[in-house]
């Protein structure tokens, strides 16, 4: 079932003067289940290329780049906050006419996705959570240190610039991965290319300073999970330097029927464990979409 390589289109759509780039697979049936792929930091929709290749012939996979990421272009004066990323992503969803989908949230995709879910619970047929944190216990000391930075913290800008360097980007991929030969260097190289574009490091700095607003909303997102009880598949790289394994188990507190799968890898679990993860997502989509359309 997973042997066919998907045909993928690459397009732009205008949302509030933001030129949003996205990738979309062309499945072999018009009524294929829809999976919205929300990427993480410091990456973009390109992080899902192999997953789209693996699953896109049978499912409609859609992966946008947020403002400040990938090929998306923003106007001068755009304010980079997680609320604004969610605004643009919500507008993107509307522009494609989507009204029901399974949502894949990874890293920054969790705060973007949960904001959208709060606004439009009727859109969410299910959740695939891959190292997308929504619990205090899932924050590592490294993550807490970054979350605690403000523009007035001594040395904050230097600390952030270290994270945004090539060494920092590569470290996000390699930390917690037992066999780094499984990691293609294309991932961190392409991420760094986009980070080094004019204005991108300033955008990322603004988002890091704004990350505290996500932690402040964890209680609200957990309450949303309990209230709406979406079907959920939780996939987690246990060596993640930012979001630790307890953050994965915490989802079961609010979604006791969620499926949890742990992998001996780092933050970018798809880079090393796609052959394990893709079939899990396919099975979850089949079962979840059938329930959603009955």
Residue 293 pLDDT greater than 70, yes or no: no
Residues annotated as catalytic are: 267
Q: pLDDT-derived band of residue 1, with 50, 70 and 90 as boundaries? A: very low
Q: How confident is the model at residue 6 (pLDDT cuts 50, 70, 90)?
A: confident
Residue 3's pLDDT is: 59
The rounded distance, in Å, linking the Cα atoms of 64 and 22 is 4
Query: If residue 209 lies in a helix (H) or strand (E), which one and from where to where?
Result: helix 200-210
Alpha-carbon gap, residue 7 to 262, rounded angstroms: 30
* 204-239 pLDDT per residue, tens: 999 999 999 999 999 999 999 999 999 999 999 999
Pairing mode of beta strands 34-38, 101-106: parallel
According to the model, what pLDDT value does residue 294 have? 61
Q: How far is the C-alpha of 117 from the C-alpha of 102, rounded, in Å?
A: 11
Dihedral class, residue 27 (left if φ above 0, else alpha if ψ from -120 to 50, else beta): beta
Go through the domains of the chain in sequence order and give each one's CATH number: 7-293 (3.40.50.1820)
Band of the pLDDT at 271, cuts 50, 70, 90? very high
Find out whether 189 and 271 touch, Cβ atoms under 8 Å: no
pTM score above 0.85: yes
Q: Token pair for residue 116? A: 């959208």
Provide the pLDDT for residue 5: 82
Residue 42 preceded by cis peptide, ω within 30 = yes
Q: What is the mean pLDDT of the chain?
A: 96
Cβ distance 109 to 39 under 8 Å? yes
Residue-wise pLDDT for 84-124, tens only, equals 999 999 999 999 999 999 999 999 999 999 999 999 999 99
The tokens for 55 are: 């699953």
Give the per-residue pLDDT at 186.
96
Number of Cβ atoms within 10 Å of the Cβ of 112 = 28
Question: How far apart, in whole angstroms, are the C-alpha atoms of residue 216 and residue 147?
Answer: 11
What is the reported pLDDT for 4? 73
Residue 43: band (very low, low, confident or very high) from pLDDT cuts 50, 70, 90: very high
Specify whether the CB–CB gap between 37 and 278 falls below 8 A: no
- Distance from C-alpha of 189 to C-alpha of 281, rounded to nearest angstrom: 27
* pLDDT value of residue 2: 46
- pLDDT of res. 291: 77
Q: What is the mean pLDDT of residues 166-188?
A: 97
Q: Percent of the chain at pLDDT above 70?
A: 98
Task: Provide mean pLDDT across the span 62-82.
Answer: 98
Residue 128 phi/psi, 5-degree rounding, is: -110, 115
């Amino acid at each position: 079932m997973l042997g066919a390589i998907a045909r993928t289109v690459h397009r732009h759509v205008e949302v509030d003067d933001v030129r949003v780039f996205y990738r979309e697979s062309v499945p072999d049936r018009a009524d294929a289940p829809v999976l919205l792929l929300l990427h993480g930091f410091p990456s973009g929709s390109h992080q899902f290329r192999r997953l789209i290749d693996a699953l896109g012939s049978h499912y409609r996979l859609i992966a946008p780049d947020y403002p400040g990421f990938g090929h998306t272009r923003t106007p001068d004066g755009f304010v980079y906050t997680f609320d604004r990323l969610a605004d643009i992503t919500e507008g993107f969803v509307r522009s494609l006419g989507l009204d029901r989908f399974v949502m894949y949230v990874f890293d920054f995709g969790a705060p973007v996705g949960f904001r959208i879910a709060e606004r439009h619970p009727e859109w969410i047929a299910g959740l695939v959570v891959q190292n997308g944190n929504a619990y205090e216990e899932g924050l590592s000391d490294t993550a807490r240190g970054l979350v605690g930075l403000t523009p007035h913290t001594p040395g904050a800008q230097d600390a952030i610039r270290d994270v945004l360097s090539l060494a920092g980007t590569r470290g996000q991929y390699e930390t917690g991965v037992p066999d780094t030969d499984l990691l293609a260097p294309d991932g961190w190289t392409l991420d760094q290319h986009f980070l080094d574009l004019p204005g991108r490091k300033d955008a990322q700095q603004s988002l890091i300073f704004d990350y505290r607003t996500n932690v402040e909303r964890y209680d609200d997102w957990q309450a949303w999970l309990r209230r709406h009880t979406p079907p959920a598949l939780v996939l987690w790289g246990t060596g993640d330097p930012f979001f630790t394994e307890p953050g994965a188990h915490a989802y079961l507190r609010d979604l006791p029927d969620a499926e949890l799968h742990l992998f001996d890898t780092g933050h970018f679990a798809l880079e090393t464990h796609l052959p394990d993860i893709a079939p899990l997502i396919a099975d979850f989509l089949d079962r979840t979409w059938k329930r959603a359309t009955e």
